[in-house]
C-alpha cells in the first residue's frame, strides 16, 4: 500500500513550507514573543483557502522551536464542554518536563455557537487566561460567529502561493521519488491546482507514481477542472461511503461525463476493493451499469441513465463488505490514457479511411480495419506501386509518411 505524498512529503520545517513568507514570519515572531511573557494577543487566528499550508505551518513551527504541539480538530469538539475539556487544562499548565506548549485548534469553521454560547464562547473564555500560545485555524475568519474571536486574536491571512512556488515544491518531491520531471509538466499541474498545494501534490502522485520520467505529454491531456469538482473526492465517496444516497449524490460534485466516470471507477475498483468477494460484487454492479449504457446507445432512451448512476455509485459503494479500509492512490484510467496517446495516429488513420471510402465505396471504419493493413505492407515494400496508389487515393505527404514508416 502506497503512502499519500501529502503526508510522506509534508514540510518538516518552516523553511520547507510553500509560499506565504510574510504570514510565516508574522506567526513565528508572535510565538517567539511569548519568550518574554504573555503578549497582548494570547491567540493567533490563521485563515485562508484550503490546502495553502495553514496547519502544516503550525506543525513545522512547533518542530522548529521544539514545542509540544497539542493539536485537535475543532469541528470534533463542537460544544463548550468538549472545548473546555480539551483546551482549557492544556492552556494552563506546562508540559510534564517543563517544556513549551503550543495548542492548535484546526477547522474552527465546524465549531457551533456564537461568542455568547457553545464552543466559540468556550474558546473566548480560555483565551482570557491562557498561559501558552493558542493557534486557531479556519477557512473564513469573517464568519459572524467569529466576530468576538477576531478582536482577541492576532489575525494572519494565508494566501494561495504563486505557481512558481508550487512548482519548486513539486520538483523537490520528484527528486525524492527519483522522478525526472519536465518543468512544463510540473507547471501545468501547479497551474491547475490554483494555489491548492495539497491538491497539486495529490495530482502529482496520481500522475507520476510508478514512473521514472514525467513528461508534458503525460499530463497535457487533462482538461482544466474546477477545484470544487474534484474527481478524486467523488471516487473517495463512492468507494468508501456506507450510504447509498451519499454515493449517488457524489456524482453531482463533478462535471465529468458518465462514460468517463465509469472508466475511473472500473480502473480503480481492483485496487480499492481487494477482497475477492467484494471485487466480484463491484464488477457485477459495473456490468449492470454497462448493460444499461449499451441500451442507451442503441435506443437513445436517456431515461435509463438513472439505472447507470444507481449501479455505478450506490452499487459500487455497497459492494464493500470484507475489504479492509485504507488509503490507496487513485489511478487515471489506462484505456483513456492510451486513447489520448494514440489520438494523432487514429486521426491520420481516419483521414486515410475517408480517402479509401470515396474510392472503394465502403465505410471508413471498414477501410481502416480491412484495407489499411494491406496498404501499409505495399508502401513498405513496393515504392512504385505505393506511388500509384498514393496518387489514386490523393494521399498527402503526412499520410504517405505514416504508411511507409515501419511498425514494430
Phi, psi of 211, deg, nearest 5: -95, 160
DSSP 2: P
- 394-406 pLDDT per residue, tens: 988 888 888 887 5
Compute the C-alpha angle 173/104/145, nearest 5°: 115
pLDDT attached to residue 261: 85
Instruction: With cut-offs at 50, 70 and 90, classify the pLDDT of residue 311.
Output: very high
> Quick one: pLDDT band at residue 2, thresholds 50, 70, 90?
low
Position 348 scores a pLDDT of 84
Helix (H) or strand (E) holding 15: none
Is 172's pLDDT higher than 90? yes
**Type and span of the H or E element at 70:** strand 68-73
Using pLDDT thresholds of 50, 70 and 90, give the confidence band for residue 225. Answer: very low
- Does domain 20-157 match CATH 3.40.1050.10? no
Are 20 and 65 in contact by the 8 Å Cβ rule? The answer is no
Residues 80, 111 contacting (CB under 8 angstroms): no
- Residue 136: enclosing H or E segment and its boundaries? strand 134-138
Closest to 70 (Cα-Cα) out of 52, 53, 92: 92
pLDDT of residue 237: 87
Q: How many CB atoms lie within 10 A of CB 282?
A: 25
Please say if the pLDDT value at position 351 is more than 60. yes
The Cα–Cα gap between 219 and 221 comes to 6
Distance CA 272, CA 22 (A): 41
CATH number for the domain whose boundaries are 163-219: 1.10.8
pLDDT tens figures, 121-162: 778 888 887 888 989 898 888 888 888 888 889 999 999 999
pLDDT at 227: 41
Between CA 194 and CA 226 the distance in angstroms is 9
Give percent above pLDDT 90 in the chain. 23
Q: What is the mean pLDDT of the chain?
A: 82
Indicate whether this model's pTM tops 0.75.
no
How far apart CA 269 and CA 283 sit, in angstroms, is: 8
Domain boundaries, the chain: 20-157, 163-219, 231-334, 343-404
With left for phi above 0 and alpha for psi between -120 and 50, is residue 300 left, alpha or beta? left
In this prediction, residue 229 carries a pLDDT of: 45
Cα(314)–Cα(309) distance, integer angstroms: 8
Higher pLDDT, 222 or 39: 39
DSSP letter, residue 177: T
- For the cut 60, the answer to whether the pLDDT of residue 114 exceeds it is no
pLDDT tens digits, 27-83: 999 999 988 888 888 889 999 888 888 999 999 999 999 888 887 765 554 445 555
Please give the grid coordinates belonging to residue 17: 513550507
Cell of 276: 475477492
Q: Which residues contact 308 (CB under 8 A, 6 or more apart)?
A: 258, 262, 289, 292, 293, 296
Residue 323 pLDDT exceeds 70: yes
pLDDT in tens, 7-27: 889 898 999 999 999 999 999
326, three cell numbers: 485504507
CB 279 within 8 A of CB 246: no
Q: What is the pLDDT of residue 112?
A: 53
Q: Up-side HSE of residue 51: CA atoms within 13 Å toward CB?
A: 18
For the cut 90, the answer to whether the pLDDT of residue 281 exceeds it is: yes
End-to-end alpha carbon distance in the chain: 35
Report d(CA 230, CA 143) in Å as an integer: 25
Q: What is the pLDDT of residue 280?
A: 94
DSSP of 334-376: HHHHHHHHTHHHHHHHHHHHHHHHHHH-S-HHHIIIIIHHHHH
Give the pLDDT score at 116.
41
CA distance 320 to 276: 11
Structure confidence at residue 175 as a pLDDT band (50, 70, 90): very high
Q: Cell triple for residue 160?
A: 494561495
Q: What is the mean pLDDT of residues 299-319?
A: 88
Quick check: 9 and 201 in contact, CB under 8 A? yes
On the question of a common fold for 20-157 and 163-219, the answer reads no
Is 97 in contact with 65 (CB distance < 8 Å)?
no
Amino acid at each position: 500500500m502506497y503512502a499519500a505524498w501529502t503526508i510522506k512529503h509534508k514540510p518538516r520545517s518552516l523553511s520547507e513550507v510553500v509560499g506565504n513568507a510574510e504570514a510565516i514570519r508574522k506567526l513565528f515572531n508572535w510565538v517567539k514573543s511569548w519568550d518574554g511573557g504573555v503578549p497582548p494577543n494570547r491567540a493567533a487566528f490563521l485563515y485562508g483557502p484550503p490546502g495553502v499550508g495553514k496547519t502544516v505551518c503550525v506543525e513545522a513551527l512547533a518542530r522548529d522551536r521544539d514545542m509540544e504541539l497539542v493539536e485537535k480538530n475543532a469541528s470534533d469538539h463542537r460544544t463548550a464542554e468538549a472545548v473546555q475539556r480539551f483546551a482549557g487544562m492544556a492552556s494552563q499548565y506546562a508540559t510534564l518536563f517543563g517544556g513549551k506548549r503550543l495548542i492548535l485548534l484546526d477547522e474552527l469553521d465546524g465549531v457551533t455557537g456564537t461568542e455568547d454560547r457553545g464552543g466559540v464562547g468556550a474558546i473566548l473564555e480560555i483565551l482570557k487566561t491562557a498561559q501558552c500560545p493558542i493557534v486557531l485555524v479556519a477557512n473564513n475568519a469573517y464568519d459572524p460567529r467569529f466576530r468576538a474571536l477576531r478582536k482577541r486574536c492576532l489575525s494572519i491571512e494565508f494566501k494561495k502561493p504563486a505557481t512558481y512556488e508550487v512548482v519548486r515544491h513539486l520538483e523537490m518531491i520528484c527528486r525524492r521519488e527519483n522522478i525526472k520531471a519536465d518543468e512544463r509538466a510540473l507547471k501545468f499541474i501547479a497551474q491547475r491546482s490554483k494555489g491548492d498545494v495539497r491538491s497539486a501534490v495529490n495530482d502529482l502522485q496520481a500522475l507520476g507514481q510508478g514512473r521514472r520520467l514525467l513528461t508534458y505529454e503525460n499530463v497535457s491531456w487533462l482538461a482544466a477542472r474546477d477545484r470544487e469538482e474534484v474527481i478524486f473526492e467523488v471516487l473517495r465517496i463512492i468507494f468508501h461511503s456506507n450510504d447509498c444516497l451519499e454515493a449517488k449524490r457524489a456524482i453531482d460534485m463533478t462535471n465529468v461525463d458518465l462514460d468517463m466516470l465509469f472508466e475511473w471507477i472500473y480502473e480503480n475498483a481492483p485496487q480499492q476493493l481487494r477482497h475477492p468477494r467484494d471485487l466480484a460484487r463491484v464488477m457485477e454492479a459495473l456490468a449492470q451499469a454497462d448493460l444499461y449504457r449499451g441500451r442507451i446507445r442503441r435506443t437513445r432512451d436517456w431515461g435509463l441513465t438513472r439505472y447507470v448512476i444507481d449501479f455505478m455509485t450506490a452499487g459500487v459503494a455497497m459492494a464493500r463488505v470484507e475489504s479492509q479500509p485504507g488509503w490507496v492512490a487513485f489511478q487515471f484510467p489506462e484505456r483513456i490514457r492510451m486513447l489520448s496517446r494514440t489520438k494523432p495516429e487514429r486521426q491520420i488513420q481516419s483521414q486515410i479511411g475517408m480517402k479509401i471510402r470515396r474510392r472503394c465505396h465502403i465505410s471508413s471504419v471498414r477501410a481502416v480495419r480491412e484495407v489499411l493493413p494491406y496498404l501499409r505492407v505495399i508502401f513498405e515494400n513496393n515504392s512504385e506501386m505505393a506511388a500509384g496508389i498514393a496518387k489514386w487515393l490523393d494521399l498527402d505527404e503526412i499520410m504517405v509518411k505514416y504508411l511507409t514508416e515501419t511498425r514494430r
